[in-house]
Structure 1
Amino acid sequence: MDNQLLVENINFSYGKNKVLNNISFYSSNGIASILGANGAGKTTLMRVLIGANKPSTGKILLNNENLLECSNNIIGYLPQNFDTYDNVTGYDFLSYVCDIKNVSSKEKKQHIDKVIQQFNLESIIYKNIRNYSGGCKRRLGIAQAVIGNPNIIIIDEPTVGLDPEQRLEFRHYLSEIGKERIVLISTHILEDVELYTNTILIINQGSIIFKGSTSDAIAQAKNNIYTMNVNIDELALINKKAMVIEEKRLENNMIKIKFIQTDDIVDKSELEKEVSLENAYVFLQKCETSLQ
C-alpha cells in the first residue's frame, strides 16, 4: 500500500523574516524533488518536515498520523553536509543508528547486513569513516537513512560534490528506495530531477509556485518560449525588452537565445520546439518574480 504524505498551510518565520508561506502539497510513494534558488526556503522546509524547526501554523500528516508524533513511521534523513564520527567504522556507526531507531537486537545484524549489501559498502564497512571518499560517505549516509525501514526519506542535495559516475550510482539507489516509500529531495541539479523524479515542487521566496510532473512544467512553458540568433549588440537590446532564459554562443560572434516572447520582439523569432526542464524552471521562476 502506498504511503500518503499531506502537508497543509505550513508557515515558518525567523523573527520577522517569513521563510515559508502557506506551503501545501501531497505526495505518495516515489520521488518528489523540491526546487528553488538559494534562499528560497528548501532547506527550511526540510527541517520543518524532520521536526528540527517548528512551524507557526499548519499540519503534516503521514498515513493520517501527525508525522512528528508517529511511532511506527520513522523518518530517514540525509542532510547536505553529512558528518559523523570519523574515528569509528562504518559498521559501528550503522549499529549506533539502529540503536537510535529502536531496531531490536535480534534484528540488528540482519538489518545492517542488508543495507551494507544494498549500497555496496562491503569493501569499506570495517574501515574508519575518516578514510572514506566523498562518494563512500554519501553511500553510508543513504544507508543510515533507510535504517528502520522508514515510510519517508528526506534528502537535502543528494548528489552534491559527487563525480558523474558517483551521481549515476546514487540515482540508482534513489530510484530503488523510492519504489516502497516516499522520498523527498531538495536539489538544484535539474539533470538529476529529469531522470528520477515523479513530481516537482518549485519554491520561490517561501511559496510554492508550481506542483506537478516535469512534463507538466515543460507544457506550461512550451508556447511561451521563442528562439532567435542575434549578435552581441542585439542581445543587449533584447535583454532590455524580454526575459532571456538561455544563451548559446555560435560561430561568427552570433548567439542563439531563448527568451519569453513579448509584443516588442516579433521579427526573426521562432517558437522553440525543444523546451528543456531547465528552460521551464527558469520560465516559471521569472514569470513569478515579474508578477511580484
Structure 2
Amino acid sequence: MNIEIYNLSKSYKTTRALQEVSFQIPGGVFGLLGPNGAGKTTLMRILATLLLPSAGKVRVGDWDVTRQPNEVRRHLGYLPQEFGFFGNLTAFEMLDYIAAMKGVPRNQRKTAIESALVSVGLEDRARQNIRTYSGGMKQRLGIAQALLGDPSLLIVDEPTAGLDPEERIRFRGIMGQLGSQHTVLLSTHIVADIEASCDRVAVLQRGRVVFNGTPAGLAAIAQGRVWDVELDQAEWTALQSRYHLISSRPQNGHVHLRLVGTENPLGRGTPRSPGVEDGYVALISNDNQFVEVEHA
C-alpha cells in the first residue's frame, strides 16, 4: 500500500510539531528516525487518524486520512508507543476481545488470532495470563493485535524502546518478515533498528524532513568523517567540542574513541567506513543545515 504525504504541518498553540513534511512510502519497511521531540509520534498519530493536521494532505492507498478516516482504519494496524492490556486475561482472550472490536467475524477470529500469535512467536503462550509476560512479550503481543483484521498498513511507534538485546533482535526479525506482506512504518530513535529492518528511511529534526532515502545513503553522509583514535583524557577533553562521539572504551590508561568530524584528530586517527549511525550523527549535528533530500 502506497502512502503519500504532502506539505503536512501540525501546530500546538505556539509549537510547530511538523513543518511542511512531504515524502512517499512505497511499501516494505519504512523507517522514521529522529531524536526525541522531532515530531515522529505526531506524524504517526496523524497517519493513524488519531490527530488532525493543521495543513497538508495524507493519502493511504486510495483514501484521504482527513476526509475518509473510517476507510483508512479498515486497512490499518497500529501499535502506539504506550499501550496496555488486561493482565488477568490470557493472550488469546485479549486478542479475541480486540478482534471483536475490530469487526472480525466470529467464525474467523480463532484462525486470525492463531495466525497473529504465530507471526510474533507467541503461539505457545496463548493461554498464559498477560500479567506473567515479560516486556518484550507484551510488545510482541502488541504487534499481534495490530495484525488482526489483516491490515495493509502497520504503524509501529518505538517498539524496541526499553527491550533487552535479545528481544530487540527478535523484534527486528519480526519487522523484516512483516515487511514482505505489509507496508510497515517503523518510528524509532534507535538507529540500529533502522539499519537492521528498513528498506528506506526518513529523518525528522525539529518537525522537518532532513533526509529521505536508503540506509546506505544515510551512512554515506559521514563518508571521510569517521575516525578511530586512542587518546588520553586530557587530549580528548581538549578536542571533544570539535567532534561527535559515537563510542568510547577505556584501553591501557587511555580511551579508544570512534568519532565523527571533518578533521583527523591530532593526525592520529584511522579512517573508517561509515555506518548508518555515523551518518545519522553527522546529519543531525549540523544544526539548521538541511541536506538535499535523496530520492534514489
TM-score normalized with structure 1 length: 0.89
Residues 259, 140 of structure 1: CA spacing in aligned structure 2 closer, same or farther, 3 A cutoff?
closer
1:122: Cα distance to partner? Answer: 2.9
Question: Residue 243 of structure 1 contacts residue 286 of structure 1 at CA under 8 Å; is this kept in 2?
Answer: no
How many residue pairs get aligned? The number is 286
How far, CA to CA, are the matches of 1:95 and 1:108 in structure 2? 7
- Could you say which residue in structure 1 is the equivalent of 2:267? 268
Q: Which amino acid aligns with 1:65?
A: W
TM-align CA RMSD = 2.3
- Could you say which residue in structure 2 is the equivalent of 1:20? 18
Structure 1: gaps spanning 5 or more residues: none
Query: For 1:168-201, what per-residue CA distance to the aligned partner results, in whole angstroms no more than 9, with x for missing partners?
Result: 2222221111111111111122222211111111
What fraction of aligned residue pairs are identical, expressed as a percent?
A: 31
1:148: Cα distance to partner? Answer: 0.7
Structure 2: gaps spanning 5 or more residues: 291-296
1:83: Cα distance to partner? Answer: 0.2
- Could you say which residue in structure 1 is the equivalent of 2:123? 122
- Superposition map of 1:241-256 within 5 A: 242-248=242-248, 249-256=250-257
How far, CA to CA, are the matches of 2:23 and 2:72 in structure 1? 23
Residues 216, 290 of structure 1: CA spacing in aligned structure 2 closer, same or farther, 3 A cutoff?
closer
Question: Residue 31 of structure 1 contacts residue 183 of structure 1 at CA under 8 Å; is this kept in 2?
Answer: yes
1:289: Cα distance to partner? Answer: 4.1
How far, CA to CA, are the matches of 1:225 and 1:84 in structure 2? 44
- Superposition map of 1:59-208 within 5 A: 59-67=57-65, 68-70=69-71, 73-208=74-209
- SS in structure 2 at match of 1:103: coil
1:260: Cα distance to partner? Answer: 1.7
How far, CA to CA, are the matches of 1:11 and 1:133 in structure 2? 38
1:21: Cα distance to partner? Answer: 0.8
Question: Residue 35 of structure 2 contacts residue 205 of structure 2 at CA under 8 Å; is this kept in 1?
Answer: yes
Residues 119, 227 of structure 1: CA spacing in aligned structure 2 closer, same or farther, 3 A cutoff?
closer
Q: Which amino acid aligns with 2:107?
A: K
Q: Which amino acid aligns with 1:280?
A: G
- SS in structure 2 at match of 1:153: strand
1:227: Cα distance to partner? Answer: 5.0
How far, CA to CA, are the matches of 2:25 and 2:131 in structure 1? 36
- SS in structure 2 at match of 1:194: helix
